[in-house]
Amino acid sequence: MLKPMDAEQLREYGHQMVNFVADYYKTIESFPVLSQVQPGYLRELVPTNPPTHPESLQDVLDGFLGEMLSAGINIVGFSWMSCPAATELEIIVLDWLAKLLNLPDAFLSTGNGGGVIQGTASEGVLVALLAARDKTLKKIGKDSLGKLVVYSSDQTHASVQKACQIAGIYPENFRILKTDSSTEYALSPEVVLNAILKDVASGLIPLLLCATVGSTSSTAIDPLLALGKIAKSNGIWLHVDAAYAGSACICPEYRHYINGVEEADSFSMNAHKWLLTNFDCSPLWIKDRNALIQSLSTYPEYLRNKASEANVVVDYKDWQIPLGRRFRSLKLWMVLRLYGQEGLQSYIRNHIALAKQFEELVIQDSRFEVVTPRRFSLVCFRLLPHSTDENQADKLNRALLDAVNLTGTIFISHTVLSGKYVLRLAVGAPLTEERHVIAAWKVLQEKATALLEGNVAQKPNGHAQLSNGVVEVDGALDNGVTTEQHGHVDDLPIK
């Protein structure tokens, strides 16, 4: 089983990286101020496909820690001219990752599409929406902005709503379509089609549909193939947000969850969520890069250069909101080489196995129920009250959440599904082991027993107060848990 880097390896590799950066600056005057390479030079130096097996540290670099190296060199790779290595490595690495995910060739840089690393999946859906908006308005006229409609489910991340606000989509034209347990909270194609037909009949113009693979609340999986066909037949841009679950799709046994992605116009996932890559690193692939470039490109005189004007290079400033950008691809490149396809698959599978083990523990305790089927490494469950009163059930689970998190030993979060207050335990931190999962379950059982036996009273504000007098401090709970492998706060891993 893959073991993440331990403290001593970090110390050793860190020293090597410091020396690498120090030597770089010590000899910096020996390098030409402007890079002397030609466009496409890096493709001749690195393999076409990502490594299957882990490679040695020496094979990768004289050091490790991509983020540290990136910060030490401090490039600002907004154009190919400003840093050819940063641009070309990003193209290559995202082609690598696309191949690991078995994405259609249309998303590769060798065709009309390609990949770009955004800061977050929120940025990914925003630039996709802007590209879709401008492509449509170019056809129908800019005065039709008020008629454009965007669709998503009630399980879709709130970043889509924010993207609509930024892109000028009228609030009343953002459709949040209802889901329920009958589809395991997936978006129903019938519901989507009915909403589209109703809007078209009203003179509105359907613009973009955001489908989710692994929703934040419950890891719901929207049916991409069916939604893609509806989108295509109605001239709608389909964006697929696989921020969390996309990483799991590098494993063949989970790849079917993105079947139908060939119908999508854009696809995004977060390597910083579950692929051992530090925040921020959110790959976005797009089928028609010209749609993105035409929407976001600016070309002031002070940025003009021969390579860009010859249209033989990629300038990533035209694929994102800001002008400047960091060397994000370096850390992803190092992760892919140091762990290899096999190592990363092992990492994902181990977390899913641990979550499955936790799910089985929950099922074995009749006081609890699993609320929706577990697919990846997130388990949605709740404590059942003595009565069938749902209000009492919600209060009971709020109290359990507070009581557990007050211990400081684990941190769980919550959501609401079909009006029920539900607890969520996510396995996603690199150092999580079986003993942590067992310990988490033990804490949950102990606090559940105390609650059901009446040893936990309710504070006036609804939070739990333990009978030993320990009371939660109002405000944020500082438990030392970070979101290193999970970009959204509500996807925090257990410690």
DSSP character string of 52-63: SS---HHHH-SS
Is residue 455 over pLDDT 80? Answer: no
Whether the link from the prior residue into 280 is cis, omega within 30° of 0, is yes
Q: What is the pTM of this model?
A: 0.79
Q: What is the pLDDT of residue 374?
A: 94
pLDDT confidence bin for 1, thresholds 50/70/90: low
Question: Which amino acid is residue 393, in one-letter code?
Answer: A
In three state form, how does the secondary structure of 142-186 look?
HHHHHHEEEEEECCCCCHHHHHHHHHCCCHHHEEEECCCHHHCCC
Same domain, 311 and 406: no
Provide mean pLDDT across the span 286-290. Answer: 93
Is residue 486 over pLDDT 80? Answer: no
Does residue 36 or residue 465 have the better pLDDT?
36
pLDDT confidence bin for 160, thresholds 50/70/90: very high
Same domain, 244 and 391: no
Query: Whole-number mean pLDDT of the chain?
Result: 83
Same domain, 117 and 216: yes
Of 124-133, 280-289, 436-445, 482-491, the poorest mean pLDDT is in: 482-491
Does residue 124 or residue 467 have the better pLDDT?
124
**Dihedral, CA of residue 61, residue 275, residue 209 and residue 193, to nearest 10:** 140
On whether the CB atoms of residues 187 and 223 are closer than 8 A, the answer is yes
Q: What is the pLDDT of residue 83?
A: 75
Same domain, 334 and 377: no
Q: What is the pLDDT of residue 59?
A: 62
The model's pLDDT over 4-28, given as tens digits with 9 standing for 90+, comes to 667 777 787 777 777 777 777 777 6
pLDDT confidence bin for 85, thresholds 50/70/90: confident
Q: Is residue 282 situated within a structural domain?
A: yes
Q: What is the pLDDT of residue 278?
A: 86
pLDDT confidence bin for 362, thresholds 50/70/90: very high
Same domain, 371 and 411: yes
CATH of the domain at 393: 3.90.1150.10
Provide mean pLDDT across the span 385-414. Answer: 91
Share of the chain above pLDDT 90, in %: 59
Q: What is the pLDDT of residue 43?
A: 73
Provide mean pLDDT across the span 249-253. Answer: 97
Distance from C-alpha of 372 to C-alpha of 351, rounded to nearest angstrom: 18
Residue whose C-alpha is closest to residue 377's, from 418, 408, 335, 347: 347
Count of domains in the chain? Answer: 2
Q: What is the pLDDT of residue 314?
A: 80
Same domain, 175 and 316: yes
Same domain, 280 and 197: yes
Q: Which domain holds residue 94?
A: 72-338
Is residue 467 over pLDDT 50? Answer: no
